[in-house]
Structure 1
Amino acid sequence: MNVGTASSENNPTHSYLNSKGMWLFYSLLVLLLHWVILSVPFISSALAWTLTNVIHNVGMFILLHMVKGTPWNTTDQGEARMLTQWEQLDRGQQFTGTKKFLTVVPIVLFILTSLYTVFNKAHFFINAVTLGFVIVPKLPQLHQVRLFNINKY
């Protein structure tokens, strides 16, 4: 018995991002981030888009692909302890709606950033590198794979 929890799941990490309300909240947070960066007087529109993209991608890389375990008390007997948030999402099942959404958002943000920076080479390179750091770990072939033993423990 897990006293003090309202969830019927062993691990709420499996499903906390599945609701459309959470998707809307996430999208609004990205917009809010962009508006805050854009409101700084000396930052150009192109730089604001690049900063939004980079901050978003770095944040999502850390939250989804670096952080392991779960923030909740779970009854899964430590199974989630060695898994990242991405690996726990939807019980590890690939190509679910939530995983597609979390894969499409950085791609759309990259396309918007590229358009608003008018494909400036420096901006494009920075945005493409950060996009790679967010998209590559999401590939099904890299599920529970630790490259160069980084983030193994």
Structure 2
Amino acid sequence: MNVGTAHSEVNPNTRVMNSRGMWLSYILGIGLLHIILLSIPFVSVPVVWTLTNLIHNLCMYLLLHTVKGTPFETPDQGKARLLTHWEQMDYGVQFTASRKFLTITPIVLYILTSFYTKYDRVHFVVNTVSLLTVLIPKLPQLHGVRIFGINKY
């Protein structure tokens, strides 16, 4: 029994994306970011779409694939200490609804960005690199793998 805690999960990080309204909040957050960037004067629409995509993917990479451990004191004997948030999500089970949602979202944003930038070469390359940066760590084959020892400890 977890004394002094209000949740029943051993590690609350495992179920946070399954919380009620989380997906809608996530989409609304991306929309709000885009509207804020659109309100900046003298910035063109293609640049705003690229910035929206880059900021979203940077935040996703930092929060899901670099931050390790859990902000809560968990009774799991430190098992989550060396796992990223993506690896902890849904207890490590692959192809759950939350994982699919978080994989499809950057792809849809990439398609929208490519369309609104009219497939400009510079925007296309920048957005493609950004997309690959967040999609490759999500592959099931890379679960727990640290490429070149990056983020090992």
Q: Which residue of 2 aligns with 1:78?
A: 78
**Structure 2 letter corresponding to 1:55:** I
Distance 1:7 1:20 in 2: 14
Q: Which residue of 1 aligns with 2:54?
A: 54
Q: How does 1:1-153 map to 2 (within 5 A)?
A: 1-153=1-153
Report the Cα offset of residue 3 of structure 1: 2.1
**Structure 2 letter corresponding to 1:77:** Q
Report the Cα offset of residue 89 of structure 1: 0.1
What runs of 5+ residues in structure 2 fail to find an aligned partner? none
After TM superposition, the runs of 4+ consecutive aligned structure 1 residues lying more than 2 A away are: none
Equivalent residue pairs, number: 153
Report the Cα offset of residue 20 of structure 1: 4.7
CA RMSD of aligned residues (A): 0.8
Distance 1:118 1:56 in 2: 20
Report the Cα offset of residue 72 of structure 1: 1.5
Distance 1:61 1:44 in 2: 26
Distance 2:20 2:142 in 1: 27
